[in-house]
Amino acid sequence: MNKREPNLERESNVMVHGLDNWQEVYKDKKMPIASLSQIIKPGQRIFIGTGCSEPQTLTAELIKKQSRIADCEIIHFLTLGKNQFFSDFEPSLFRHNALFIGESMRNAVQEGKSDYTPIMLSDIPPLITSGQKHIDIALIQVSPPDKYGFVSLGINVDINKTVIDHADIVIAQINPQMPRTYGDTFVHMTVIDHWILVDEPLIEAKYQEPDEISQNIGKYISRLVENGSTIQMGIGQVPNAVIKFLMDKKDLSVYSEVFSDGVIDLVEAGVINAESLRTGRSKIMASFVMGSKRLYDWIDENPFVEFRPTSYINNILNISKNEQQISINAALTVDLTGQVNSDSIGNQFYSGIGGQADFERGAALSHRGKPIMALPSTTADGKKSRIVPVLEEGAGVVLPRGDVHYVVTEYGYANLHGKTIRERALLLIGIAHPKYRESLLKEAKRLNYVYPDQILPKTQDGVVVIYPELYESDFETDSGKIVHFRPVKFTDERLLQELYYSLSMDDRVLRFFSPQKSFPHKQTQPKVAVDYQNTMAIVGLVGEEGKERIVAAGSYYLNQNTNMAEIAFTVREEWRNQGLTRRVIEILARIAQEKGIRGFNGEVLPDNKPMIHILQTLPYKVQFRDYEGEMMFSFEFEDKK
């Protein structure tokens, strides 16, 4: 009986009286596994259920009987099972088409034994519903039916739901170990044409414990996640590492095409809870999960988790409605203009587009959303930088440079949105592995991306320095405002220029001892490209990420002959008398003492009464002397009042 012509009398009885003996009621649809090759005809298009819900017994039988049903096209989306579709000794009689390349299909695609269709996850359902990829046979795995005759798609709704609704014949592997999940996961037995009963464990996706690099990436990503955010993340070491650093967050939501075991930890820690979701999304929403039996047991009949098809979850408009949507996805390489390659290594296809572009664009449209691309700074062997001058020949641009916002490595993050090519190149060089920064800068100059005289922060021996994150801190002013203090970065040049140009002419005289009218690149660049050893500069910033401005700056310059460092400070007029200068001096003094510097000295004009007052009230014995109309000062750290 065709599923589009159900036995209405039988189904009415099921709805009224319940379904305790479902096998007896639907025995006419039960099939022996050996008859699969009789149902499938040569030349048909076959869809295999996705991810960890792949019907392994049906798939194994399909492979076993392929000689009887040649020339079929098999559609895969993230096939994870251990069934071997290809043999070096016996070529496959099927033509495979991967919509996303999983590990079991990777070699076949690279060797030309399988096709690959590059497509965004949100575009797959229309591909099927329009008939462009008409599905003749769908092989799926579901839970046993409930008393009303509904089976659940369990851990994978994604595109399975769309395929079931449009396939000519649906063959189900009914598995008592498949969880019953809520949302748009239910399919009535009338829609299923044939079924087999197989009680077997589901495929489990196991992930390695995050390594140090992944944990550092996770730490930086967590800094971008504000309380009240809605998160989407992929699978693997980096998402697992991110979760470890979200335990101190509050009121998070999950709206993601996929999630794994780590979400349970966030729920158990109270980071995600029903109370926090009242004013936002009422449930965790996803399209599928990939994880362990612990995860599968947790989502079983759990009303806190709602599954929806890909056509809903990956709809950019739906994503954009989420408050503070954070999308976290992985890249293989990023070039200096911000182009992201995620699906290939050169000409070799590696994975696929998936939902990456959907969520990056949806997050960009979300109110206070943050699209994030993450990648280690080098390949696993450390022999190649994954931030590159230009993408390799054949590398696919999964995310165009105009769509890219945040890029994160273990050395920090760069916000590229709205930045010039020069700014992008410098920001990305700043989070590349230090041993590749010099060569990246050289290529950036060759490509005319940056100033010809652009320099990197280096030691006196010419070694590229690493940004000293440990010196970052927040300071609350008397008025309750928060200023974030950190070491200057060589990408802060424009921000420092803006600080200087904000000064009145009188203030410029007090700071630079002359009515300086301009602050060109050649003069400002050395002030931000410091070595953090003999030269240190601290800046105080306010404002949201990407809109911040420097309100205070201070620096020291070491005279190695005397082991004393000269200091200088600048504070925006509207931020004075709030303790910022004193705070900068405290930070610089602590750093200088760690470096073994003896003390500070400098000069100040007699008219600069506020600065003189600050110096006089420091906990050190400050010595003053007049010199040609200026006041010279000095103090040693050990010589305290």
Q: Using CA atoms, how far apart are residues 551 and 545, in angstroms rounded to an integer?
A: 15
Cβ within 8 Å of residue 128, ≥6 positions away: 134, 135, 159, 162, 163, 166
Q: Using CA atoms, how far apart are residues 145 and 159, in angstroms rounded to an integer?
A: 20
Cβ within 8 Å of residue 37, ≥6 positions away: 61, 65, 68, 69
Sign of the Cα torsion 271, 277, 282, 285 reads: negative
Closest Cα to residue 303, out of 452, 180, 387, 140?
Answer: 180
Name 165's bridge partners. none
Assigned token pair, 99: 């919509």
Q: How far is CA 497 from CA 372, 493, 583, 609, in A?
A: 28, 6, 22, 25
Q: Using CA atoms, how far apart are residues 287 and 183, in angstroms rounded to an integer?
A: 10
Closest Cα to residue 353, out of 119, 64, 32?
Answer: 119
Cβ within 8 Å of residue 366, ≥6 positions away: 230, 319, 320, 321, 322, 323, 324, 325
Assigned token pair, 437: 């920064």
The string over 508-522, giving b where at least 16 C-beta atoms fall within 10 Å of a residue's C-beta and e elsewhere, is bbbbeeeeeeebeee
As a whole number of Å, the end-to-end CA separation of the chain is 96
Q: How far is CA 462 from CA 330, 452, 455, 536, 596, in A?
A: 33, 18, 11, 17, 21
Return the SS3 of 96. strand
Q: Using CA atoms, how far apart are residues 283 and 290, in angstroms rounded to an integer?
A: 18
Gyration radius (Cα) of the chain, Å? 31
Cα 318 to chain centroid distance, Å, stands at 19
Q: Using CA atoms, how far apart are residues 573 and 571, in angstroms rounded to an integer?
A: 6
CB of 199 within 8 A of CB of 154?
no
- Active-site residue, from 103, 204, 209, 257: 257
Backbone angles phi, psi at 261, to 5 degrees: -55, -30
Per the annotation, the verdict on 301 as an active-site residue is: no
Q: Using CA atoms, how far apart are residues 234 and 288, in angstroms rounded to an integer?
A: 11
Catalytic residues: 257
